[in-house]
A and B are shown apart, each in its own frame.
Chain A
Amino acid sequence: MSGQKKLWWSLLAIALILSFSTATVSAQGGGTLIGGFDVGPGGLPQTVPWVQTAGNTWLSKIWSPLVSYNEDVSGLAPQLAVAWEANEDNTVWTFTLREGVVWHDGEPFTAEDVKFTFDFVLSPGSTFSGPPQAAALTILGAQAYNAGEAAELAGVRVVDDLTVEFELEAPNPRFPFKLVDSYILPAHAVNFAPAEIATTDWWFTNPVGTGPFMHEEFVRDQFWAVVPNPNYWNGAPKLDRLINRYFEDETAAILALEAGEIQFTYASGDVALQLGEKGYALHQGPSGVTNYFIFNYRNPVFQDVRVRQAFLYAIDRQAIAEVILGGTAQVVPCLGAFPNMWPAEYNEYAYNPDLARQLLAEAGWQQTEPIELVTYYSSQFHMDAMAAQQQYLADVGIDVVPRVDADGYNAYFYTGEGWQISYRGLGNNPGNYPFQFYETGGYPNAVGDTGTLMGQSFPELDALIAAARQEADPDRYTQLLQEICAFQNENAIEAYMWTALRYGVASTDLVDFYWFPAPGGGPYEDHPELWAVAE
């Protein structure tokens, strides 16, 4: 063998040895699970509690809220609290805490930690600003305390070690739903100032939580590794190690999955279905996000219900969902993404281009220039859908031109100016319904005197929303949501399209693994203490 050949074979042998050394997974106990838990719309790499806008699937592995969503986000599941109840007018909520919970460092968890957490994040100068703020600021005295106008937070009271009471500024029958992503912090271990919530290294160096896993190693931009919490209240996790690897985009994560380097990642519908055919395990569920056209009523043409209904009759939503979106989306009658939010009967707006043309003619529809259909979506899924929508609308004489603006969208959407029609998505479930999108005065800074994003208010809808906000009885509340849906459907307030299924893709060696595409990553009941990797 020549010297050159020897060198070549030596290099090849070294490369093979190295590749085997990384591909082999040690599998003592439950093994090591490596996943891209922050890939996709529910993920947010390297975020931290109280400033997070997503990423809860991972955060909930280390920290726990009082309550979380249940496994399919249809209700609540107990976490640090085992029971909760409201007084008669839903202004005071009492939470009974789980007994025997200890922090990762062995200190006992008590009601003082709950009070500390809300005192801490609401204290003047704190920088918390994520969705948990929506709940915290409704607590009695929270805004005054946060503004430095009150010496203490009046609305959170410790009754005893295992009981804590929240008093609210206004009645809220669904206050616990607002607490799902409010992670409780350890009073004894937090060693940074409230102003440093978003910037402290504590989260990544020596964090202390009550979650099923404990911090082990964090390498910025690359991964976060955790190990089982032997004292976890629901039993010590079976896994030896759980690792969240960071990826710049979904494609990189899919390639890592196919290379066998990770065992789980989020994947877009079309990619997920292809991977399913290759034998990967698919975890699918409704996204809880409804895609729809929101009309800007500041343009008088959209104030005519016949025009809005024509948009619905003109588009064969069912065909798009089944053929173009490959069955990965379900047509919806209103904003509600889940069937229990729909009334028994509603107008399906079945594809009827003749009726659409007739409605447009009756409304005197005359278009002199194309209307921009602005969106922040740039995925193939939505691009395909929008191309089809454009064709269907053109067929009845509505000329729309899709425009993707992922970067600037939020800057003008919330003002109500700069757009005519927007194709967008809005997450919702019975516990967290975005009433403010429809309520008069919901967005005081929006252009116009109605204080709404679409520039129009509906007194009947306002009344239904006001009733729903106050309704404590679950059945009556569901009924009110259905009445809201019926009103949206009948009046075609917006042109509701579909809610998409979302997918997680896992290798088949995962045991008892569970994932659900909850908006913002939940948190939801996924029982990570049961997860394991088969040898």
Chain B
Amino acid sequence: MFKYLIRRIVVSIPVLISVTIIIFGLIELAPGDVVDNFINPEIGYSAETLEAIRERFGLGQPAPVRYLKWLGNAVQGDFGLTYVSGEPVLAAIGRRLGNTLLLMSTALLVGTVIGVSLGVFTALRQYSFWDLALTTLSFVGISMPAFITGILGMYLFAIEWKIFPSGGMRPVQRDPTVWDTLHHLILPAGILSLAYIATFMRYTRFSMLEVLHTDYVRTARGKGLHERVVIWRHTLPNALLPVITVIGLSLPSLVVGAVFIETIFSWPGMGTMYLDAVNAKDVPLIMGMNTVIAIVVLGANLLTDLAYGMIDPRIRYD
């Protein structure tokens, strides 16, 4: 397994470099540059000012030279300064990454626990009232985009009932406590978790039903095993394999963030920072974020593959 791990990591390096080349190329192909971010079209800038702004960002060099410079610094851990805020790229990413991890991991955790539980619950009660009701709700959850659930949730819980704050990560009038953070987290994370709950519930239900109808489960029951043992020891672990794949595919969202929910709840996370960086054509920040995201995606794929091995003893990596 260790050899397999090393092999996968080594293979990931050229993939990672390819990703950075593609992203840099796409940024170069896009119209405009970072200077546009500093030009308010409604202010009559002089030609001299426009030129001075361009000079400030050293945009005179050819793209390959700028890319190689970036790569040379990046392998040494220096991702440069963001064009817009002027802070070190890794510091900016680090600050937002923590916020996004908090939001998205809470949503994913809640979604996984509730979604998988409801999936098992409905599978064991196929075609019952609860199965039909929760299945219908899950379709609603999957179909309803975040900008509907987000606005609706905020309107009800923040504006009408004032149970939760409408946005931000902390109160601005005092130092935040753990409770304050939770208070600000519950609504956006709860709304984000709805889609996870619905998705994981559907996958778990389908997978459970499939496994429940296999010969070895029938055999287990025929041997007179207690139903609890049949479900928890023989059915669920096997049914979870495809669910783990889906959860694994969701892992990159832990660092990518959720643009709309972050925007509407003023949650300063990776999603909004990425959008802002792209709009501003902030090349160092875009490159830094993409590198981090690419590393996480590659890492998540690796973790998913390793998790298979832990759950399914038939899978070996030697």
Contact = CB atoms under 8 A, between A and B. Distances in A.
A53 B39 contact: yes
B19 interface: no
A530 to B, nearest CB: 22
Contacts of A376: 41
B41 A222 contact: no
B266 interface: yes
Contacts of B266: 222, 245-248, 252, 256
B167 A407 contact: no
Contact of B183 (A18, A259, A261, A428): A18
A219 B49 CA distance: 31
B173 A32 contact: yes
A23 B173 CA distance: 10
A4 B50 CA distance: 65
Contact of A259 (B32, B44, B159): B159
B44 A428 contact: yes
Nearest to B53: A129
B268 A222 contact: yes
B162 to A, nearest CB: 5
A412 B31 contact: yes
Interface in A452-479: none
B25 interface: no
A302 interface: no
A106 interface: no
B149 to A, nearest CB: 14
Interface string B201-215: 000000000000000
A445 B51 CA distance: 10
Nearest to A36: B266
Contacts of B46: 134, 436, 442
A198 B81 CA distance: 11
A200 B87 CA distance: 8
Interface string B7-46: 0000000000000000000000011110110111111111
Interface string B77-97: 000010001110000000110
A140 B57 CA distance: 26
A134 B163 CA distance: 50
A332 to B, nearest CB: 15
A487 interface: no
A19 B173 contact: no
A249 interface: yes
B86 A414 contact: no
Interface in B60-118: 81, 85-87, 95-96
A225 B172 contact: yes
A221 B268 contact: yes
Contacts, number: 171
A19 B163 contact: yes
Contact of A411 (B32, B43, B165): B32
Contact of A220 (B48, B95, B168, B279): B95
Interface stretch (B137-145, B228-236, B257-265, B289-297): B257-265
Q: Bin chain B's interface residue count.
A: 35 or more
A407 B166 contact: no
B162 A424 contact: no
A365 B100 CA distance: 57
Contacts of A426: 42, 44
B96 to A, nearest CB: 8
A255 B264 contact: yes
A258 B159 contact: yes
Given A22-B183, A260-B162, A409 B263 contact: no
A194 to B, nearest CB: 12
A100 interface: no
A424 B86 CA distance: 30
B56 interface: yes
A444 B50 CA distance: 12
B194 interface: no
B47 interface: yes
Nearest to B33: A411
B173 A199 contact: no
A427 B43 contact: yes
A410 interface: yes
A223 B164 CA distance: 19
Contacts of A246: 266, 268
Contact of A255 (B81, B158, B172): B158
Interface string A118-147: 000000000101110110010000000000
Given A23-B162, A247-B266, A131 B43 contact: yes
A249 B166 contact: no
A225 B41 CA distance: 30
Contacts of A241: 173
Most buried by B among A54, A222, A519: A222
A409 B33 CA distance: 10
Interface string B155-199: 100110011111111111100000110010010000000000000
Given A198-B86, A225-B172, A256-B167, A53 B38 contact: yes
B188 to A, nearest CB: 11
Contacts of B31: 405, 407-408, 411-412
B154 interface: yes
B173 A259 contact: no
Contacts of B158: 255, 259
Contacts of A289: 42
Contacts of B265: 252
A410 B263 contact: no
B272 interface: yes
Nearest to B173: A32
Contacts of A16: 163
A133 B55 CA distance: 14
Interface string A207-237: 0000000000001111101000000000000
B52 interface: yes
A428 B266 CA distance: 33
A221 B269 CA distance: 9
A222 B56 contact: no
A75 interface: no
B36 A259 contact: no
A259 B184 CA distance: 14
Nearest to A126: B56
Contacts of B52: 129, 133
A286 interface: no
A434 interface: yes
A10 interface: no
A408 B44 contact: no
A220 B173 CA distance: 15
A430 interface: no
Nearest to A25: B173
A259 B30 contact: no
B44 A436 contact: yes
Contact of B42 (A15, A406, A411, A425): A425
6 contacts: A18-B183, A34-B173, A46-B85, A53-B43, A130-B38, A436-B44
The 6 A-B residue pairs with the shortest CB-CB distance, nearest first, are: A434-B44, A408-B31, A199-B86, A221-B268, A411-B32, A259-B166
Given A129-B52, A133-B52, A137-B48, 12 more contacts: A25-B173, A34-B172, A258-B166, A260-B162, A261-B167, A407-B30, A409-B32, A434-B44, A436-B46, A443-B47, A519-B42, A519-B43
